[in-house]
Amino acid sequence: MEKTREFIAENIERISVLFILVGIGIIHSVSDKLPFLNFYYLPVLLAASACGRKTALLVSVLAVFLITLYAVAMPSSFSVKIADGMEELREAQRGAAPGARIAAIERQISDQKFNLHFSLTAWGSFLILAAITVGTLYDQKEKQAEDLKHAYIGILEMLTKCLECTDQHVLGHSQRVAELGVEIARELGLADSAIEKVRVGGLLHDIGKVDVNVKALQKSVALSEEERREIALHPVRGAEILQSAEVVLRDVIPIVRFHHERLASEEAEIPHLPGVKLDREMTLSIGTIAVADAYDAIVSDRPYRSGKLPWQAAQEIEANAGTQFHAEVVKAFKRVIARTM
């Protein structure tokens, strides 16, 4: 449903023009055209629900302009009553009917043209009003959604800062991973919705560490095998933690769960999360956070080692393309990093 909406939003102008042309074709093929004008509510409401008031208003004005131009240029082909009146007038003139009779027919035609213009004015006014009303409701809904999104992102950022307080050596890590992940996702040409999931996945990718022994996280010497295994489980624990917010974070959980996997395959299953497929977009999203996470870890100082230079980190990631990291993601990562070095 979301992909359909994005497709409509991206192609709304073409779709609306297509609807209008089809509508003109339908209207042109019938003798009494007024009842078919309601067809134009379809592209207008489509534009309003997909793009908001401005686009809907443009579509409605275009439809009103074209139909008005058609009606003014060829009124007799637009209304059956006007066409019949014009035919009756021609017969009366050929038959040398009395002037009073011809004048009466002309008055009838004039009245029918007035009725036509009045009907068109009423139709056009309601069409534009519908565009403004539905478009305004859409704009208000989008503004509320945007406000909620900002609050939501703010809460996530506060949550990651609280998480990082347990380990002073990784302060800002999740934020940097999210920012780099977004740049890579844009370079890959992912949809806006997928980019937003990458951002959230970057902020939350280490959330499972809240369930890890703090001493192991803060240790400045080599970890024991048991401690390594415990820390290695943080993606699984992170996915389990986010299950409680599955309605909101359903498509983020795979990013958190698999960001340390070599190459998450489409056959991978997520316990208690049926219906989520690791398709190409999701696999690229996971691979994006995997690369961003690894890069920031390599260039950051740790108690037991100094961080490497950006070009060294880039080389290390490139050396593992196709094995540890998704090859397509690594190519996009290299283009992003090349712009910053």
Q: What is the pLDDT of residue 264?
A: 47
Q: Which two tokens stand for residue 334?
A: 């290299």
Residue 215 confidence (pLDDT): 46
Cα separation of 134 and 84, whole Å? 39
How far is the CA of 339 from the CAs of 106, 118, 184, 290, 335, in angstroms? 75, 61, 12, 20, 7
pLDDT at 25: 67
What domains sit in the chain, N to C, each tagged with a CATH number? 2-141 (no CATH), 166-340 (1.10.3210.10)
pLDDT for res 231: 62
Of 297, 296, 281, the residue nearest 197 (C-alpha): 281
- SS3 label, residue 220: coil
Give pLDDT < 70 ranges for the chain. Answer: 1-33, 77-78, 80, 82-86, 88-90, 92-97, 101-102, 105, 149, 152-153, 155-171, 211-233, 245-247, 262-277, 301-305, 341
Give residue 16's pLDDT.
63
pTM tops 0.85: no
CB 177 within 8 A of CB 292: yes
How far is 287 from 255, CA to CA, in rounded Å? 8
Q: Which residue has the tokens 């996280």?
A: 217
Query: Is 276:254 a contact under the CB 8 Å cutoff?
Result: yes
Reduce the DSSP state of residue 30 to 3 states and report it: coil
> Which pLDDT belongs to residue 260?
78
What's the pLDDT at 180?
93
What's at 153, amino acid-wise? I
Which one-letter amino acid corresponds to residue 37? L
